[in-house]
């Protein structure tokens, strides 16, 4: 074969190899690429949007759940704190009553608790429960026919205080939203006490009414009782002038002792003040009416004014 023929053959062989290599490279490039139709692209984008919306919805739900948990926890903390304040002030009030302390120096939180106690209806519920217990007790026992069974009632619980100081806590409690709660509490007590008085009177119980007021206030006290619908009491006991310097607990103990020495039997004593319920000769049963903090202060001022 001539040299020219060999040269032509080599050129043809080189062109064939180059052509095959180019075809193979093109084929490999097509296989390594990503092809998607427009419909598939739309579905893919819609799926991404749906996932994003779901994720945002989940985040919003989680945020709302966290806020709800925080609110509930805050409410639990608030209720717990309110209960702690009530328990603290309740014990402080009891301590003041037992030891005749001046409650006007109570901490501010207790004044707020006193307003809440009345405004939220707890005072009315406590009064109702106490009167209910007393009524149940007197339904189970009956007075003897000899008339020697007595019930002693604190007449100072029947009416608002006559102290010249008025309501010593009214201005202090007004800052806690208590513009009429003192009058509201007095009206509640008056309503429940009169109800119990009428029931005892109807049941035939001899009623001895006692007061811290002076004897010279007898006529005014009797007029108040009659105007309130309270009549037919067995006796109304007020303090003599020479008894005003006597401790009220001793005064009431002497009164009960005197009645028992006269042959009477004290079936029950009913009062909202500890001084009328403490000491010997307190009878078979004692009913302590609920007493908001302000009444301890009011009672302190009234006792102070009467002794002057």
Residues 6+ apart with CB under 8 A from 26: none
Tokens of 301: 């001022």
Q: Where are the beta strands (DSSP E) in 124-261?
A: 149-154, 207-214, 235-239
pLDDT of residue 166: 43
**Confidence (pLDDT) at 158:** 86
DSSP single-letter state for residue 306: H
What letter would DSSP give residue 259?
H
Is a pLDDT exceeding 90 seen at residue 269? yes
Strand order in 149-154's β-sheet? 235-239, 207-214, 149-154, 265-271, 285-288
Mean pLDDT of the chain: 76
DSSP summary character for residue 213:
E
The answer to whether residues 92 and 113 touch, using CB atoms and an 8 Å cutoff, is no
> Which has the minimum average pLDDT: 32-36, 74-78, 193-197, 280-284?
74-78
Q: 1-5, 41-45, 69-73 — which is least confidently predicted?
A: 1-5
In angstroms, the CA 238 to CA 269 distance is: 16
Q: Is the pLDDT of residue 14 over 90?
A: no
Q: How confident is the model at residue 300 (pLDDT cuts 50, 70, 90)?
A: very low
- The pLDDT assigned to 183 comes to 77
- Reading the block at residue 30, the tokens are 């097509």
| Sequential DSSP letters for 6-54 | HHHHHHHHHHHHHHHHHHHHHHHHHHHS----HHHHHHHHHHHHHHHHH
% of the chain surpassing 70 pLDDT: 69
pLDDT in tens, 177-201: 566 777 788 888 888 999 999 999 9
Q: How far apart are CA 148 and CA 283, in angstroms?
A: 13
Contact (CB, 8 A) for 263 and 148? yes
- Any idea which residue has 């093109």 for tokens? 26
Tell me the per-residue pLDDT of 204-250, one tens digit each, with 9 for 90 and over: 999 999 999 999 999 999 998 998 888 889 999 999 988 888 888 89
| pLDDT level of residue 160 (50, 70, 90 thresholds) | low
pLDDT, tens digit, 9 for 90 and up, residues 285-297: 999 998 776 554 4
Q: Flag whether pLDDT at 13 surpasses 70.
A: no
Burial class (CB in 10 A: 0-12, 13-18, 19+), 9: exposed
**Confidence at residue 297, expressed as pLDDT on a 0 to 100 scale:** 47
The sign of the CA dihedral 59, 60, 65, 68 is positive
Q: What is the CA radius of gyration of the chain?
A: 44
Query: Six-digit token pair at 198?
Result: 């009428």
- Whether the per-residue pLDDT at 141 is higher than 50: the answer is yes
Spatial separation of the C-alpha atoms in residues 209 and 197, rounded to whole Å: 10
Tokens of 101: 């302390």
Mean pLDDT, rounded, for 279-284 = 83
Residue 189 exposed, middle or buried by CB count within 10 Å (0-12, 13-18, 19+) = buried
Angle subtended by helix axes 181-202 and 108-119, to nearest 10: 50
Report d(CA 86, CA 38) in Å as an integer.
Answer: 72
pLDDT of 72 reads: 56
Percent of the chain predicted with pLDDT > 90: 29
**What's the sign of the alpha-carbon dihedral 86, 92, 96, 101?**
negative
């Amino acid at each position: 074969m001539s040299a020219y023929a060999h040269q032509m053959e080599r050129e043809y062989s080189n062109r064939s190899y180059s052509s095959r290599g180019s075809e193979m490279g093109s084929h490999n490039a097509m296989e390594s690429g990503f092809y998607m139709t427009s419909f598939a692209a739309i579905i893919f984008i819609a799926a991404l949007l749906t996932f994003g919306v779901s994720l945002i919805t989940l985040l919003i739900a989680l945020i709302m759940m966290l806020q709800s948990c925080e609110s509930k926890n805050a409410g639990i903390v608030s209720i717990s704190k309110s209960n702690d304040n009530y328990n603290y002030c309740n014990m402080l009030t009891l301590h003041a009553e037992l030891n005749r302390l001046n409650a006007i120096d109570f901490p501010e939180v207790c004044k707020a608790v006193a307003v809440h106690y009345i405004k939220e209806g707890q005072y009315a519920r406590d009064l109702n429960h106490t009167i209910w217990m007393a009524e149940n007790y007197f339904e189970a026992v009956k007075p003897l026919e000899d008339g020697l069974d007595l019930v002693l009632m604190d007449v100072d619980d029947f009416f608002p205080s006559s102290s010249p100081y008025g309501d010593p806590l009214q201005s202090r409690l007004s800052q806690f939203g208590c513009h009429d709660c003192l009058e509201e509490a007095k009206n509640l007590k008056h309503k429940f006490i009169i109800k119990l008085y009428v029931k005892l009177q109807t049941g035939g119980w001899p009623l001895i009414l006692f007061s811290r007021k002076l004897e010279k206030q007898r006529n005014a006290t009797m007029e108040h009782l009659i105007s309130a619908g309270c009549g037919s009491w067995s006796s109304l006991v007020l303090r003599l002038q020479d008894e005003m310097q006597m401790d009220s607990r001793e005064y009431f103990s002497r009164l009960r002792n005197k009645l028992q020495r006269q042959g009477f039997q004290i079936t029950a004593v009913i009062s909202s003040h500890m001084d009328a319920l403490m000491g010997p000769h307190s009878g078979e049963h004692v009913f302590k009416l609920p007493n908001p903090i302000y009444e301890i202060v009011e009672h302190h001022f009234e006792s102070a004014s009467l002794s002057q």
